[in-house]
Amino acid sequence: MKRWAIWASACFYGLFMQAPAQAQRPAAPRDLPTAAAGPALGDPMPERALAFPGGITGLADIIFSTVNGYRPLRLDLYHKPGAGRRPLVIYVHGGGWVGGHTRQAGAISDFPAALARLAAEGFVVASLEYRLAGEAPHPAQLQDVRAAIRFLKANAGRYGIDSKRIGIWGGSAGGHLAALAATSCGDATLDPPARPGQPAPPAGDTCVQAAAIWYGVFDFKPLLARQAQPGAPAAENQLLRCTPASCDPARVANASPAHYFSRQSPPFLLIHGINDRTVPVDQSRLAEAGLQANGVPVKAIYIPGVDHSFISADAATTHAATMQAVNATFDFFHTSLGDRK
């Protein structure tokens, strides 16, 4: 009986435990397609498309910029195929210029769904990467935002974008970059310089028609000054590659959106938590005053009882503040860029 049991067990494993498959050498020589001239560049993998409510398609990880010596930069795009030309909203993520992600924003648990919701209201929406401060100092991050704007304008027909109606939105470090892109678009000195043997500097207008900034940085001078206080954040040191004692005032101004305020600046929406301990609310207050002094339409919302990222000690207050900001931002883009569903 025991020998029968062993035999039966061996038969069972023979049926269900097949031998590993062997590699098969083809009979004919292999033949693969090659480029007509020079190396084959680009990414031949198909775009990863995701379906969202409202007929929205999300296209993940579209490469929009390749700078020699750095990783390719990618963006996610949300649109409704076949819906005609729609206004574009570009989101720039936060993270202290040293972290963050295109699919994260404050306390919103599913940010891609939030961006798809905005797209369903009649927009094309893009969320982009940029080189972090550990990879390159200012103005590399701004150059990457500008590269995304140029890429999306160049591909407006492909993605259904109305290139004359573009808004930009960002939070924290992303708010700084969004504001800098919105206010400095006519300053070519912030683009990469021409170098022998390198591709020509990028060309094309990068101006936008609206900017929504959540708890953003507008002037680095007071941020650098506060570093005399123990425990003050110092992420700006890595971005600017200097310390408060060594920062050239011209470099500080060059990186500050407030330096570029003018009558040509687009309409702004500013939203900031009054209790913000990371980016003081005074940053938005000085931006509000500076934009008003230049005759720029600006609306400011200061939310009591919340810290950076609209975070509060209790979940209900965090949710209420976040939804107040989301609704005000979506409504602002409808008003500034025009409704088209």
The rounded mean pLDDT for the chain is: 89
Tokens for 71?
């990783």
Three-state DSSP class for 291? helix
What pTM was computed for the model? Answer: 0.87
Q: What is the C-alpha separation between 115 and 102, in angstroms, rounded? A: 10
The identity of residue 188, as a single letter, is: A
Give the start-end residues of each E strand in 178-295.
210-214, 268-273
Q: Based on the residue annotation, tell me whether 262 is a catalytic residue of this protein.
A: no
Q: Based on the residue annotation, tell me whether 43 is a catalytic residue of this protein.
A: no
- Give the range among 29-33, 245-249, 252-256, 269-273 with minimum mean pLDDT: 29-33
Catalytic residue among 172, 256, 309, 336: 172
Q: Which domains does the chain have, with CATH numbers?
A: 46-192+201-265 (3.40.50.1820)
Does residue 326 carry a pLDDT above 50?
Answer: yes
- Provide the pLDDT for residue 230: 56
Q: Based on the residue annotation, tell me whether 276 is a catalytic residue of this protein.
A: yes
Catalytic residue among 93, 144, 308, 312: 308
Q: What is the C-alpha separation between 274 and 330, in angstroms, rounded? A: 21
- The tens digit of pLDDT for each residue in 274-301 reads 999 999 999 999 999 999 999 999 999 9
The identity of residue 283, as a single letter, is: Q
- Provide the pLDDT for residue 84: 92
Catalytic residue among 65, 184, 276, 336: 276
Q: Are 279 and 307 in contact (CB under 8 A)?
A: no
Does residue 198 carry a pLDDT above 80?
Answer: no
Looking at the DSSP bridge assignments, the partners of residue 77 are: 59, 126
Does residue 12 carry a pLDDT above 70?
Answer: no
